[in-house]
Amino acid sequence: MELPKNAYFKGKIVPYAEAKVGVLTHAFNYGTAVFAGIRGYWNADEEQLYIFRPIDHFRRFLQSARLMLMEIDHTPESLSRILVDLLRVDGYQCDIYIRPLAYKSDEAIGVRLHNLHDDVTIVALPFEKYIANDTSAHVTISSWRRVDDNTIPARGKVSGAYANSALIKTDAARSGFDDALVLTQEGHVSEGSAMNVFLVRNQELITPPITDNILEGITRRTVIELAQKELGIKVIERPVDRTEIYLSEELFMTGSAAQIVAITKVDHRPIGDGAMGPIAAQLRALFDDAVRGRLPQYRKWNMAVYSEEALPVH
């Protein structure tokens, strides 16, 4: 993986090699950090780099920080402005991944959230596929359960909680799968290791509700809107049983890093006819056009980096 060129760190843009923290940093020792994952997409025809839904991502980022009792003196708009400044210094002309991180920055021993200082850093780096086999992924049902919201807030991207995702992902990968589906303590389908889940049954698009320990995904929200408005598909948010997955006509996962990943096999059982279905294929094409600024009706989602007049964002 190619390292970032620069970083927003301690209030200014510096070479990435200068963005360093000590080994006693609280976030490093106790997982007391929150993060966001944002994508930037290169449109070669327009010679423009578009950040996808930055205001929405930074709004959720600040909500995650609030859950961890962080005091961040920024708004979604001010963080977007910093990001644009960083990306203009970086000068990327390719698809990128952006990682904002808010963290407890004191070098101190002691488990707590209070009486600590909070800092923000942002980096960006070239990035393509999160899952290489994204049109025909093979997943398993993980033996690990999703962390419950009363244990660690599921709707916050808390860094310490991703130890759960790491256990899920590694066990799946070492068993020969691309990823895994994870169940709640009640046995309902929650998420992938770090992605939201959708299935198609009877030509309806179904996804677990936000009360089943899922991250309130921005790509998830995007897919719901595209499915309803562009494809005229009914979208239902409700609990999903494990066996419904095996009987689904289509299955896919969504996330900022992963985008839309079609799943064609679960635990050696084919989904539908064992190939990516038409709804997933149409949504993947629509999504790619939307994130690259090719759909006028969704330009509100795109912020242009190399433009003096940034497009409106929501």
CA–CA separation, 180 and 149 (whole Å): 20
Per annotation, catalytic residue among 12, 157, 229, 265: 157
Quote the CA–CA distance of 171 and 9 in Å, as a whole number: 34
Where do we find the tokens 């256990």?
167
Residue 195's CB is within 10 A of a number of other CB atoms, namely 28
**Catalytic annotation present for 5:** no
Q: Compute the distance between CA of residue 71 and CA of residue 92 in angstroms, rounded to an integer.
A: 31
Query: Strands 96-104 and 118-126: what pairing?
Result: antiparallel
- Provide the β-strand partners of residue 102: 34, 120
**Other C-beta atoms within 10 Å of 299: how many?**
16
Q: Which residues, other chains included, contact 180 with Cβ-Cβ below 8 Å and sequence gap of 6+?
A: 139, 140, 141, 142, 168, 169, 171, 172, 192, 193
Active-site residue set = 157
